[in-house]
C-alpha cells in the first residue's frame, strides 16, 4: 500500500466501462477512488459500416485502432460474426500501450504501438512516412481527432474511417460530487482526454468550476493538459505516459510535492 496516496480522494472521470482497473489500483494504494464518469460509450446506431469493413478486411494494408473503445467494439463485433482468424496480410497498429494490450487479448498480433502514445506517436513511425497507395482501415469513435486520417492522406494513403462507437455526455447528477467537494473530500481529479475534461467541466457547473481552480488535476497527456489550461485553470500534472501506470506515477509525484509543501 502506498502511504503517499493513503486516504486521498481521487476523482476518476473515465467512462464506467474503462474505469475499473484504475479504481482498483487506486484502492490498492490506499486512496479513495471517487467514480464520476464524464463520458458514456455506446454502440453505434447501426453496425452496417463496421460490418462492411470487417467483410473486406483483407483489402487493407493496415488496421489502426485509435482507442481501447475502438478495439472493444470492433473486435467484439468481429468475433461475434464468427470471425476468429485475422488476415495475415493486414498489419495492426494501436495508438498506445493500453490499446495494444486490448488487441492482444483478442489473440491478434500488434505490429506497431508507439513509445509515445497518441496520434503523433503513430505518425512518427518510419514505416508510415512513405505510404502512397496503401490502404488504411481507421477504427474510431465519432467526434474523434482527424489528425491520423488527414496526415496519412497527405502522404498519399487511402484511409477509410470506420465508426464503431458513439460518445455521449452522461446525464449524471453532480450534486453528490459537489457535496463531497464542499466537505473537502476531493483531493485531485484525473482526466484522460480533452473531451472528458470538457464534459466534466460542463457537468460540474459554475460551483465545481470554481473549485477546480484550487483542485489539482492529473492529465493523461499534453493534449489533455492543453484543454485544461484553455479554460484558465492552473497547469495540471501530466502523466509521463498515457496509461494507468502513468496516471498513478503523476498522482504520486503530486502527493509527494504536496507533502513537502505542508
CATH architecture of 42-168: 3-Layer(aba) Sandwich (3.40)
Percent of the chain with pLDDT over 90: 83
Alpha-carbon distance of 180 to 77, in angstroms, equals 40
**Of 3.10.580.10, 3.40.50.2000, 3.40.50.2300, 3.40.50.10090, which CATH number belongs to 3-39+171-261?**
3.40.50.10090
Q: Can you give the pLDDT at residue 142? A: 84
| Domains 3-39+171-261 and 42-168 alike in fold | yes
- For the ranges 79-83, 95-99, 253-257, the maximum mean pLDDT occurs at 253-257
Q: Can you give the pLDDT at residue 109? A: 96
Q: Three cell numbers at 37? A: 464518469
Q: Can you give the pLDDT at residue 262? A: 65
Domain boundaries, the chain: 3-39+171-261, 42-168
pLDDT per residue as tens digits for the range 60-71? 999 999 988 999
pLDDT per residue as tens digits for the range 9-38? 999 999 988 899 999 999 999 999 999 999
Mean pLDDT of all residues in 177-184: 96
**Which residues face 140 on adjacent strands?**
163
Q: Can you give the pLDDT at residue 144? A: 67
Asked if pLDDT for residue 2 goes beyond 70, the answer is: no
Contact of 37 with 11, CB cutoff 8 Å: no
Q: Burial of 210 by CB count in 10 Å (0-12 exposed, 13-18 middle, 19+ buried)?
A: exposed
Amino acid at each position: 500500500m502506498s502511504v503517499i496516496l493513503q486516504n486521498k480522494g481521487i476523482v476518476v472521470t473515465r467512462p464506467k466501462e474503462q474505469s475499473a482497473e484504475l479504481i482498483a489500483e487506486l484502492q490498492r494504494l490506499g486512496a479513495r477512488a471517487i467514480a464520476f464518469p464524464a463520458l458514456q460509450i455506446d454502440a453505434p446506431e447501426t453496425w452496417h459500416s463496421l460490418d462492411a469493413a470487417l467483410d473486406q478486411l483483407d483489402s487493407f494494408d493496415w488496421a489502426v485502432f485509435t482507442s481501447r473503445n475502438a478495439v472493444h467494439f470492433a473486435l467484439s463485433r468481429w468475433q461475434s460474426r464468427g470471425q476468429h482468424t485475422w488476415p495475415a496480410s493486414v498489419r495492426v497498429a494501436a495508438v498506445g500501450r493500453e490499446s495494444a494490450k486490448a488487441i492482444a487479448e483478442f489473440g491478434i498480433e500488434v505490429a506497431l504501438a508507439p513509445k509515445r502514445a497518441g496520434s503523433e506517436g503513430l505518425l512518427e513511425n518510419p514505416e508510415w512516412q512513405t505510404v502512397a497507395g496503401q490502404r488504411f482501415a481507421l477504427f474510431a469513435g465519432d467526434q474523434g481527432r482527424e489528425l491520423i486520417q488527414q496526415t496519412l492522406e497527405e502522404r498519399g494513403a487511402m484511409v477509410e474511417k470506420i465508426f464503431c462507437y458513439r460518445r455521449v455526455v452522461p446525464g449524471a447528477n453532480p450534486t453528490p460530487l459537489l457535496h463531497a467537494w464542499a466537505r473537502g473530500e476531493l483531493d485531485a481529479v484525473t482526466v484522460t482526454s480533452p473531451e472528458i475534461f470538457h464534459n466534466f467541466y460542463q457537468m460540474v457547473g459554475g460551483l465545481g468550476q470554481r473549485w477546480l481552480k484550487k483542485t489539482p488535476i492529473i492529465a493523461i497527456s499534453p493534449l489533455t493538459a492543453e484543454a485544461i489550461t484553455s479554460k484558465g485553470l492552473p497547469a495540471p500534472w501530466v502523466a509521463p505516459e498515457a496509461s494507468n501506470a502513468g496516471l498513478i506515477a503523476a498522482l504520486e509525484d503530486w502527493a509527494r510535492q504536496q507533502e513537502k509543501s505542508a
